[in-house]
């Protein structure tokens, strides 16, 4: 079941209603505050995915791969991909915030995974989770602005 938002607004008089609606309208035209909320959430989710080996879905490395790498960590070779997705301003991390959209992912062709998925799938968080985190961040921004 999807997340539900319950909101109660108590307004005293027409002026208060107009002020609140205008503030919400202004925030809807510039979502950079929502992106400020969303980025740490995406990075935290990426950390969970790496720590849980893709929530248990990543296949184990073959014995040959383990021998080459010296460890059994699927999707972690040099650690650069993981850092690019989980650490703010890490080498290879790509983040671009604009008023109505945000790009988050990897921009480093020396990271094998980023070449494999290309620009269409810049991070490991699944689309459903990204939508949930994004929706939550945008709603908080619209409702509360910088007060949260």
Tens digits of residue pLDDT in 81-117 = 888 889 988 888 888 888 888 888 887 776 665 554 4
Report if residue 61 sits inside a domain: yes
Report if residue 4 sits inside a domain: no
Looking at the 3D structure of the chain, how many domains does it have?
1
pLDDT tens digits along 43-88: 999 899 888 888 888 788 888 888 888 888 777 777 888 888 899 8
Token couple for 56: 């248990």
Report if residue 7 sits inside a domain: no
Q: CB–CB of 99/29 below 8 Å?
A: yes
Report if residue 111 sits inside a domain: yes
Report if residue 8 sits inside a domain: no
Report if residue 131 sits inside a domain: yes
Report if residue 2 sits inside a domain: no
Structural domain including 68 reads 16-147
């Amino acid at each position: 079941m999807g997340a539900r938002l319950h909101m109660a607004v108590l307004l005293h008089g027409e002026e208060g209603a107009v002020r609140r609606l205008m503030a919400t309208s202004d925030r809807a035209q510039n979502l950079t505050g929502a992106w400020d909320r969303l980025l740490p959430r995406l990075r935290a989710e990426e950390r969970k995915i790496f720590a849980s080996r893709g929530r248990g879905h990543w296949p184990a490395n073959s014995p040959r791969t383990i021998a080459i790498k010296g460890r059994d960590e699927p999707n972690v070779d040099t650690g650069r991909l993981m850092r690019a997705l989980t650490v703010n301003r890490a080498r290879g991390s790509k983040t671009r915030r604009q008023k109505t959209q945000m790009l988050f992912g990897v921009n480093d062709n020396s990271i094998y995974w980023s070449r494999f998925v290309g620009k269409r799938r810049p991070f490991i968080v699944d689309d459903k989770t990204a939508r949930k985190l994004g929706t939550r961040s945008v709603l908080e921004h619209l409702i509360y602005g910088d007060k949260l």
